[in-house]
């Protein structure tokens, strides 16, 4: 990574706020009482630089009558539980931190570290194993979560497998690249929710995506109108792609896939490839003339027609996500929830499709996210970082590794 982002990743790890549940090992322990449910990482319990802050947190869990002995007893209990947790090696903590740092704007990560936000990452398919028992029913089945309460903020992320697994034997079919991709996408969305929080000297007072002048949950009029316009924009892009020949291109690509799987390098295969090439050339010319995005660096690699079809469907879905948790009897509350979710998914969609494609499909939400949300985050951070400055040596190394590293396949 660029040195600035590498430094952020190191800060995140050294802060002790990164909590990881990696299959059968975790780097944090939980201490639950009748009125609290706190977690402590191994670094918070063993790092001398964090010990005083951690001890102060522990002291708040002990009745004054128990004094120093009570604090010592809780400390000993936590250290013993830490041994049972087995811990996560420092190298894996850094790998997780590097993924998280690249999942959001640098100002958001800086704000997250400065605010002491706890980040929970699980290799499971849900965040249930990161939560206390009493929270499972309400939030345990979520793939990600950004929580805000009187004790502070927290971000929960699930990967659905080991994102750094390499080899033939897998614990789950989603180990490796699929888990890494899922982790980046979910982290992007939850970091988007975190960035959307409206912060003042009095603390968090709402979201930029909601109406601050309304006592009930209502969508901000500007963001709500922008979401509706972006829905119309995505629909219009679909019609424009069709007029450029997307339907014919999709049929040609399906024919190529059929013969490639059954009669590779046969005369029908060559004819299908040639016909697809002709349709592709015409489609690219017409789409470019209409200024439609045609560059999608997605993995697994897909034919352009399939990539565009997936792009349109995904952009439309994330403007109006459909899930039981987003429904509400009050239509205005339901609209506000949809607006909050859509705005937070701007960075997630950039990870999937690229910034230029998202800006073309969601010009209003994308513009509001960077002009308002990210600008507000940058305003709270004094030392802004660039995430693009790399040395020539780094650029060459990254290019070589990307060129020869094995990638998941699709079809030619």
- Please tell me the least confidently modeled range out of 21-25, 26-30, 84-88, 132-136: 132-136
In-domain check, residue 212? no
In-domain check, residue 49? yes
Cβ–Cβ under 8 Å, residues 157 and 117: no
Categorize the per-residue pLDDT at 42 as very low, low, confident or very high, splitting at 50, 70 and 90: confident
C-alpha dihedral (161, 167, 168, 169), degrees to nearest 10:
-50
Cβ partners under 8 Å of residue 106, min gap 6: 4, 5, 8, 384, 385, 386, 387
Mean pLDDT of the chain: 85
In-domain check, residue 244? yes
Among left, alpha and beta (phi > 0; psi -120 to 50; other), residue 353 is alpha
Q: For residues 209-218, give the mean pLDDT.
A: 87
C-alpha 132/C-alpha 127 separation (Å) is 10
Q: Is a pLDDT exceeding 80 seen at residue 37?
A: no
155, 7: one domain: yes
Single pTM value for the model: 0.86
101, 173: one domain: yes
In-domain check, residue 33? yes
Percent of the chain with pLDDT over 70: 90
Categorize the per-residue pLDDT at 382 as very low, low, confident or very high, splitting at 50, 70 and 90: confident
20, 103: one domain: yes
Give the model's pLDDT for residue 296.
84
183, 111: one domain: yes
Give the model's pLDDT for residue 60.
81
116, 13: one domain: yes
Give the model's pLDDT for residue 85.
83
327, 250: one domain: yes
Q: How many separate domains does the chain show?
A: 3
227, 354: one domain: yes
C-alpha 353/C-alpha 350 separation (Å) is 5
C-alpha 135/C-alpha 142 separation (Å) is 11
What would you measure as the largest C-alpha separation in the chain, in angstroms? 87
C-alpha 354/C-alpha 315 separation (Å) is 12
14, 144: one domain: yes
Give 229-262 pLDDT, tens digit per residue. Answer: 999 999 999 999 999 999 999 999 999 989 888 8
In-domain check, residue 213? no
Q: Is a pLDDT exceeding 90 seen at residue 278?
A: yes
**The dihedral of CA 107, 113, 116, 118: what is its sign?**
positive
Q: Is a pLDDT exceeding 60 seen at residue 93?
A: yes
350, 262: one domain: yes
Cβ–Cβ under 8 Å, residues 40 and 54: yes
183, 161: one domain: yes
Range of the domain at 117: 1-27+87-207+384-412
Give the model's pLDDT for residue 222.
94
51, 140: one domain: no
338, 374: one domain: yes
Cβ–Cβ under 8 Å, residues 176 and 163: yes
Categorize the per-residue pLDDT at 84 as very low, low, confident or very high, splitting at 50, 70 and 90: confident
Give 294-344 pLDDT, tens digit per residue. Answer: 988 777 777 899 999 999 999 999 998 887 777 888 889 889 999 999 999
Categorize the per-residue pLDDT at 139 as very low, low, confident or very high, splitting at 50, 70 and 90: low
Strands (E), 223-312: none
| Beta-strand pair 118-122/28-32 | unpaired
Give the model's pLDDT for residue 224.
93
């Amino acid at each position: 990574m660029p040195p600035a982002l590498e430094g952020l990743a190191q800060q995140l790890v050294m802060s002790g706020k990164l909590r990881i549940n990696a299959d059968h090992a975790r780097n944090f322990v939980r201490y639950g009482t009748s009125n609290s449910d706190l977690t402590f990482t191994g670094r918070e319990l063993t790092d001398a630089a964090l010990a005083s802050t951690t001890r102060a947190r522990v002291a708040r869990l002990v009745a004054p009558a128990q004094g120093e002995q009570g604090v010592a007893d809780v400390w000993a209990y936590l250290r013993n539980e830490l041994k049972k947790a087995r811990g996560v090696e420092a190298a894996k903590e850094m790998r997780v931190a590097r993924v998280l740092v690249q999942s959001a704007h640098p100002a958001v990560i800086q704000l997250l570290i400065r605010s002491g936000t706890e980040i929970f990452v699980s290799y499971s398919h849900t965040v249930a194993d990161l939560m206390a028992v009493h929270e499972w029913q309400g939030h345990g089945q979520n793939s990600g979560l950004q929580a805000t309460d009187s004790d502070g903020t927290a971000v929960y992320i699930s990967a659905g497998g080991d994102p750094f697994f390499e080899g033939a034997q897998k614990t789950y079919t989603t180990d490796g690249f699929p888990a890494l991709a899922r982790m980046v996408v979910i982290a992007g969305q939850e970091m988007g929710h975190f960035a959307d929080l409206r912060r003042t000297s009095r603390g968090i007072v709402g979201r930029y995506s909601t109406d601050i002048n309304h006592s009930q949950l209502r969508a901000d009029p500007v963001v709500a109108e922008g979401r509706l316009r972006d829905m119309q924009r995505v629909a219009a892009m679909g019609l424009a792609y069709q007029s450029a020949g997307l339907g014919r291109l999709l049929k040609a690509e399906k024919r190529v896939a059929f013969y490639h799987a059954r009669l590779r390098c046969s005369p029908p295969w060559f004819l299908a490839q040639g016909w697809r090439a002709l349709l592709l050339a015409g489609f690219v010319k017409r789409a470019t003339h209409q200024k439609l995005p045609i560059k999608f660096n997605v993995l697994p690699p897909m034919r352009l027609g399939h990539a565009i079809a997936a792009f349109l469907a995904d952009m439309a879905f994330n403007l109006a996500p459909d899930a039981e948790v987003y429904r509400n009897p009050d239509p205005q509350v339901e609209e506000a929830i949809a607006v909050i979710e859509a705005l937070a998914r701007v960075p997630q969609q950039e990870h999937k499709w690229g910034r230029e494609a998202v800006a073309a499909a969601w010009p209003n939400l994308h513009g509001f996210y960077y002009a308002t949300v990210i600008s507000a985050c940058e305003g709270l951070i004094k030392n802004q970082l660039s995430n693009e400055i790399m040395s020539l040596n780094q650029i060459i190394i990254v290019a070589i590794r990307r060129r020869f590293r094995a990638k998941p396949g699709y079809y030619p």
